[in-house]
Chains A and B, each alone.
Chain A
Amino acid sequence: MEDLEKIAKEIRKDILLMLNMAGSGHVGGSLSCVEILVSLYFKVMSYDAKKPSDENRDRFVLSKGHAAPALYAVLSKAGVFPRDMLWTLRKLGSPLQGHPDSKYLPGVEASTGSLAHGLPQACGMALAGKLDKNPFRVYCLMGDGEMDEGLVWEAFMSASHYKLDNLCVVIDNNTLQIDGRCRDVMNIYPLEEKFKAFGLYTKSVDGHKFSELISAFEEAKNNKRSPTVIIAHTIKGRGVSFMEDKVEYHGVAPTDEELKKALEEIDEGD
């Protein structure tokens, strides 16, 4: 676990650095999902970074595509591509597009960005795994604001209908969306009851505690009756005190001054 905590700090610093260099991007929702991504790529998933196209690999789909910086930092840390590439984020010709693009970057399983399209693509992958009797698992990370999209519920309905127990969805439940608190913009809560009504096995965890996340992922692997949805309670902007739980930090990059302060704060935690 100590190692994972250390990796998470490095990922957070890379996210802040790359966003600062890009001059734009989504910092809050990238920082809120760091522990979720680190658990998956460094503990839970069967994934060889040297073979990102191996047909037996577990798949991860970032349905909340605006958290691309977090995904890129984790993929690079895992060894899919060199860390230097991170500093090309959002630049012309870079494979690190503003939102993940499967055409240009190995390790990105599906192009996302326009919300809700990641989940049904993940369902398609899970269906393909079932057809081929290949035991790979499919993980999909979504935002709570993303639950506003109707397509999300079409996809959950079909995931349950086709009994996709090889699918595990994580909700990065940071309670904020662009225009404000999710409950004020469009109240999608309670989520757990909705998921249960859709026939999904549901588990709530602290989305910043590795032990809770990992045990929920292990539980999901053993659930052979239905897809699993893990509601990960998180804090938007987690790890940088002045960004935490602040709606203003949804879609901005840290300034030089903010970056300095944020990096110092993360290092102080050591």
Chain B
Amino acid sequence: MKATRDAYGDALLELGRKYKDVVALDADLAGSTKSVKFKEAFPERFFDMGIAEANMVDTSAGLALCGKRPYASSFAVFVTGRAFESVRQSIAYQKLPVVLCGSHGGINLGEDGGSHQAVLDISLMRTLPNMKLVVPADYNETYTAVLSTIKDDGPVYIRTSRAKSPVFTEGDFVFGRGRALRTGRDVTLVACGFLVWYALEAAKLLEKEGIDASVIDMATVKPIDEEMLYDFAKSTKKMVTIEEHTIFGGLGSAVAEFLSEHYPIKLKRIGIPDVFGESGTGDDLLCKFGFNAAGISNTVREWLKKN
């Protein structure tokens, strides 16, 4: 069990070792986002911008305009929400190679409550032209995804999580490619973030009930792997999306938009309904919103009965 935010810290450190143009910025949360590892190794290339996320994002743009490769991190709720206008005007509009990392994505951060839980960051970033968007499933995938951003010529948003979660991929991440972790006949579960693990566990529970599910790890939410969606829509004729995010504008919406235009089939979106988060332990919240294996398998089974 490892947190994806640790992978961000470790990969950023590795990038710092390899490339002297890599610089890192944080907004007084280096210990939480894990950019602290870079800060300790390369203090001269690390800029703490204080509790001023918008200024951090704009300053990153200026650094990028002078040839630097900035990696700017904060809580997902702040770097995408509070700093949205700076991300829009200075990063996305100029198509600058700035990597934004939003740690503490979703509701699993728990006790701090709804003010700190990012439930609409994917939606905000997905709407920006030029922005790529990655929600990796585990430590290994996050590590590879962060390393791969150095080859990009435009902005990338990476969402990481606070909670420790199982490490189950080989880290064979390729931008824009989904990965089929399991192939079944009856339904396809498309998930992102560490909920991919729960989707796999749910598929095992469903198998015991005679439901044969495919599971896709859709780490790149934008640009989404349309080819893979098409193939699986065709083979299973039913699809379920699973994300720790509002059902408006995130992975579920991306899949719905594609399917409705190219291969209309029945779709169920599992996510956070039209509400904010709240306080509780991460596990209690995952349970409340039906994101654990039992919750997902129950929703899928009941939906399949009606559809």
Contacts and interface: CB of A to CB of B under 8 A. Distances in A.
Contacts of B55: 120, 123, 151, 154-155, 157-158
B67 A124 contact: no
A127 interface: yes
B129 to A, nearest CB: 12
A213 interface: no
A111 B93 contact: yes
Interface residues of B, number: 29
A129 interface: yes
Interface in B47-80: 47, 49-50, 52, 54-55, 58-68, 70
Interface in A92-120: 101-103, 109-114, 117, 119-120
Contacts of A110: 61-62, 65, 90, 94
Contact of B60 (A119, A124, A131, A154): A124
B62 A121 contact: yes
B62 A124 contact: yes
A103 B95 CA distance: 8
B50 A158 contact: yes
Nearest to B60: A124
A127 B63 contact: yes
Nearest to A126: B62
A120 B64 CA distance: 12
B268 interface: no
- Main secondary structure on chain B at its contact with chain A? helix
B94 A127 contact: no
Interface residues of A, number: 31
A129 B44 CA distance: 13
A121 B62 CA distance: 4
B85 interface: yes
A103 B92 CA distance: 11
B226 to A, nearest CB: 27
Interface centre among A119, A120, A122, A132 (most CB of B within 10 A): A120
B89 A158 contact: no
Interface centre among A110, A128, A155 (most CB of B within 10 A): A128
B44 A121 contact: no
A124 B50 contact: no
Contacts of A155: 55, 58-59
B93 A154 contact: no
Interface hub of A101, A109, A121, A125 (most chain B Cβ within 10 A): A121
A162 interface: yes
A117 B89 contact: yes
Contacts of B66: 55, 124-125, 128-129, 132
Contacts of B95: 103
B52 A122 contact: no
B4 interface: no
Given A125-B66, A127-B63, A131-B68, A117 B58 contact: yes
Contact of A131 (B45, B61, B65, B89): B45
A101 B58 CA distance: 15
A124 B94 contact: no
B23 interface: yes
A107 to B, nearest CB: 13
A216 to B, nearest CB: 23
Contact of A157 (B52, B58, B61, B65): B52
A158 B90 contact: no
A158 B49 contact: yes
Contacts of A131: 23, 44-45, 68
Contacts of A126: 62
Given A114-B89, A120-B59, A124-B66, A162 B47 contact: yes
A124 B44 contact: no
Task: With a 10 A CB-CB cut-off, give which of B55, B67, B94 has the most chain A CB atoms.
Answer: B55
Nearest to B90: A117
B241 interface: no
Contact of B59 (A101, A103, A123): A123
A91 to B, nearest CB: 20
Contacts of B65: 102, 109-110, 121, 124-125, 128
A269 to B, nearest CB: 38
B94 A111 contact: yes
Contacts of B52: 154, 157-158
B108 interface: no
B33 interface: no
B160 to A, nearest CB: 24
Given A117-B58, A129-B66, A154-B54, 9 more contacts: A55-B67, A102-B65, A103-B95, A121-B62, A124-B59, A127-B62, A131-B44, A132-B66, A155-B55
The 9 lowest CB-CB distance pairs between A and B, nearest first, are A124-B62, A120-B58, A128-B66, A154-B55, A121-B62, A154-B52, A124-B59, A124-B63, A125-B62
27 contacts: A103-B95, A109-B65, A110-B94, A111-B90, A111-B94, A112-B89, A113-B89, A114-B85, A114-B88, A114-B89, A117-B61, A117-B85, A117-B90, A120-B58, A120-B62, A122-B62, A124-B58, A124-B62, A124-B63, A124-B66, A125-B65, A127-B62, A128-B66, A131-B68, A132-B66, A154-B52, A158-B55
